[in-house]
Amino acid sequence: MCCVIIAAAVYAMLGTGRTASTKTSAPTAAAGSSRGPKPSAPAKSSSSGTWVPTNPAIADVCRSKLPSQAQDTLGLIAKGGPYPYRTDGVVFENRESRLPRHSNGYYHEFTVVTPGSGDRGTRRVVTGTDGEQYWTADHYGTFQEIDSRC
């Protein structure tokens, strides 16, 4: 019990790990598209320069460990497109609340190409307005927060 209290106290002191100097602005429409945001790179660091996940209850994954198609999608997101699917960049509503709760419009989803799939498949990258990025391989069943440092 004491470890839980200590962990909660540390998390409360660190907050989300963002400081005023690392917070990014809201996404804007991508060039040539009215629906895709142009998010900036994630800015995850505490005052000590260590990456801190947005929500410690969500597992994290190194960007380099993602499938190459997910890395390609992250590259397109960083450039603001163009995206391969017309629905890329639409609002992700987080209906099941598997990601931290925010107002509608905070999250946007992007398709990760699935080789051999005749449709969009089940793989997605979901981005938050503050720059956080999440990976799901099972169509929103589970998420991992992407650590872009590794």
CB 93 within 8 A of CB 114: no
Is 93 noted as a catalytic residue in this protein? no
Active-site residue among 93, 102, 108, 109?
109
Is 139 noted as a catalytic residue in this protein? yes
Give the list of residues 6+ apart from residue 71 with CB closer than 8 angstroms, or none: 63, 64
Query: How far is 73 from 84, CA to CA, in rounded Å?
Result: 9
Query: How far is 134 from 126, CA to CA, in rounded Å?
Result: 5
Query: How far is 120 from 56, CA to CA, in rounded Å?
Result: 29
Active-site residue among 93, 108, 132, 139?
139
Query: How far is 78 from 11, CA to CA, in rounded Å?
Result: 29
- Tell me the residue type at 119: D
Instruction: From 63, 64, 65, select the one nearest 147 (Cα to Cα).
Output: 63
Residues with catalytic roles: 109, 139
